[in-house]
Each structure stands twice: as C-alpha cells, then as structure tokens.
C-alpha cells in the first residue's frame, strides 16, 4: 500500500496518525497537539489535504460533532487507520532500538541492559560492567565460590 509507506517515513504525517490513534480530534486540535508534542507546527495546507487523502483511503472517518459552542468536523481512525497506526508504532520502535541498542552495555551478572551509568569494576584484570554495585558483589561472590569449589576439588 503506497500511502502507508509514504506516511511511515514522514514525521508530521506519522504524528497525525498516532494522535488520532489516541483519540478523535478536529483539525485545530490536531494542529495544536502536533505542535505541543513535536515542537513543529503543521500548516493547514499540509493537514487538510492529508486528512482528505486519509478519508478517501478509508483510514479516517469524519463526522460533525459539537466541540465547545460550535459543531466541528472530528476525525477518527477507522479499523484500517488503526492498523496503519500500529505499523507506524512498530517502525518507530524498531528505529529507536536501532539508534539506542548498539550503545547499550549489558550487566555481566543479571544481563539487564544498562541505559545510563552502570557500575564498572576490574575483576581478574578485565573491566566488567554491571547495572549496580549489588550485581558486582554477587558476581564476585559467585566467582569466589566457583574458585573455592575448584580448589577444594583439587585438594581431594
């Protein structure tokens, strides 16, 4: 589907779809939310033709609803639109992990990913990284008990 491919690579358009996946919005509401969240305004010249295109592709439905004093056209994702939103979420999630994961260290003891800081200690001449001091201590204790077990085996 050409449209979904276009959309997934476009930040403003992706944001519009994702906003609508949270709740139905009218045009002005979409413009305001997009600017609040990504700090980039979306012009009516981009928004309305895009909404029209989504409507034509049955990805949104529009209906007049009372908003405050006056009725306004409120846009809502259809089942197809929700599927598209799910695909955009997936794509963004994989892009984010692509950007973050290579820089992540993993705790030598518990295997959890270390997003910030961590604790480093040189053990047996090699620097190891842990998520916390506690993991480092448990790791050293385990290492010591393994060494101890080996040593007592050799004695026998």
Residue 104 as a binder of Zn ion (CB under 5 A): the answer is: no
Q: Round to whole Å and give the CA distance between 72 and 30.
A: 13
Q: How many CA atoms lie within 13 A of 18 on its CB side?
A: 19
Nearer to Zn ion, 73 or 110 (CB): 110
Nearer to Zn ion, 81 or 118 (CB): 118
E strands within 68-152? 70-77, 105-106, 113-114, 119-123, 126-130
Nearer to Zn ion, 122 or 152 (CB): 122
Nearer to Zn ion, 110 or 149 (CB): 110
| Of positions 96, 110, 133, 149, contacts Zn ion by CB under 5 A | 110
Q: Round to whole Å and give the CA distance between 51 and 54.
A: 5
Smallest gap from Cβ 103 to Zn ion, in A, equals 18
| Of positions 51, 135, 136, 139, contacts Zn ion by CB under 5 A | 135
List residues bridging with 114 in a β-sheet: 105
| Of positions 109, 128, 136, 139, contacts Zn ion by CB under 5 A | 109
Residue 131 as a binder of Zn ion (CB under 5 A): the answer is: yes
Q: Which residues, in sequence order, are CB contacts of 13 under 8 Å at separation 6+?
A: 6, 7, 50
Show contacts with Zn ion in window 9-48 (CB under 5 A). none
Residue 54 as a binder of Zn ion (CB under 5 A): the answer is: no
| Of positions 107, 118, 128, 139, contacts Zn ion by CB under 5 A | 107
Site residues (vs Zn ion, CB under 5 A)? 107, 109-110, 131, 135
């Amino acid at each position: 589907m050409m449209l979904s491919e276009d959309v997934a690579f476009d930040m403003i358009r992706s944001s519009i779809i994702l906003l609508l996946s949270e709740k139905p919005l009218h045009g002005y509401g979409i413009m305001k939310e997009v600017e609040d969240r990504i700090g980039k305004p979306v012009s009516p010249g981009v928004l309305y033709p895009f909404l029209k295109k989504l409507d034509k592709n049955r990805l949104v439905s529009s209906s007049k609803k009372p908003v405050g004093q006056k009725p306004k056209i409120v846009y809502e994702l259809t089942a197809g639109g929700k599927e598209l939103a799910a695909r955009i979420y997936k794509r963004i999630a994989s892009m984010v992990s692509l950007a973050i994961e290579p820089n992540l260290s993993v705790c030598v003891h518990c295997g959890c990913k270390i997003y910030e800081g961590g604790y480093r200690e040189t053990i047996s001449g090699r620097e190891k990284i842990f998520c916390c001091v506690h993991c480092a201590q448990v790791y050293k204790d385990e290492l010591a008990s393994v060494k101890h077990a080996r040593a007592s085996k050799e004695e026998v």
